[in-house]
Amino acid sequence: MPVTTPKRTIPVSPSTAAAGTRTLCIDIGGTGVKALVLAQDGAPLTERARVETPRPATPDAIMKVIWPLIEPLGEFDRISVGFPGVVIDNVTKTAPNLHPDWNDFPLGKALSEGTRRPVRVLNDAGVQGYGVIEGKGLEMVLTFGTGMGTGLYYNGVYVPNLELSHHPFKKKKTYEELVCKAELKRIGKKKWNKRVAEVVAQVLPIWNPRHLYLGGGNAKHITIELPPNVTITPNIAGLLGGIALWKDSATVPS
């Protein structure tokens, strides 16, 4: 289906580009769409901008909110996008918490044509992991937001499109069905935390990561005692990790 594109592009000042490449990072979520601009070293150059995810969350609806979201952020040279689903070659393949129209949607192309900037798109949990991992051994990220995301890395190299959240976990329900945002609201924080503890206890002896990071918008509600190799990370990592998509093409699937 046709996608709305902006009527004008956002200019890039040659003097700013010469001083360092600016990366616009966009995090598309089931609850909110966020964006900020990062310096070449990954330091934030702007405040985080956020809007509610429109419903229905079709590609056209989300593209329409992205343009006014990013324009006040100013100049940028390239774009990194975290997307809540499987992404292959900048094309979104699934979006269980958004809309079926995202299946086989060329998100990278749509953004690149609208801004005249190069774009790289990756699963949102994958981007969040790049914002927190140390790049040593096997590291894993679980994000708790509208659903549950997963990122896996070996020596800093991302293993793409691991959708652990949709694997059956307990009582014929998937991980995502048991710890999603809707369940947090339905059963309350105490019972939800118990389920998160069960997820962590299940994941650790199977994947045996050197470190497990818990992130996403609902990680702030986690109050359980965690093993020494499990830590809670700030949700802004979903944007800060965007700089890594451009550091080395060998570490990011094209």
Domain ranges of the chain: 14-124, 133-232
**Rounded-to-integer distance, Cα 193 and Cα 25, Å:** 30
pLDDT in tens, 85-142: 999 999 999 999 999 999 999 999 999 999 999 999 999 999 999 999 999 999 999 9
Residue 6, pLDDT score: 38
Angle at 100 between CA 5 and CA 92, to 5 degrees: 60
pLDDT in tens, 144-178: 999 999 999 999 999 998 999 999 999 899 999 99
Burial 25-56 (b: 16+ CB within 10 A, else e): bbbbbbbbbbbbbbeeebeebbebbeeebeee
Residue 68, pLDDT score: 96
Domains 14-124 and 133-232 share a fold: yes
Mean residue pLDDT of the chain comes to 90
- Asked if pLDDT for residue 253 goes beyond 70, the answer is no
Fold exhibited by the domain 14-124 = Nucleotidyltransferase; domain 5 (3.30.420)
Fold exhibited by the domain 133-232 = Nucleotidyltransferase; domain 5 (3.30.420)
Whole-structure pTM value: 0.87
**Within 13 Å of residue 45, how many CA atoms lie on the same side as its CB?**
19
Residue 188, pLDDT score: 98
- Asked if pLDDT for residue 208 goes beyond 90, the answer is yes
Residue 248, pLDDT score: 59
pLDDT in tens, 56-84: 999 999 999 999 999 999 999 999 999 99
| Beta bridge partners of residue 144, listed in sequence order | 148
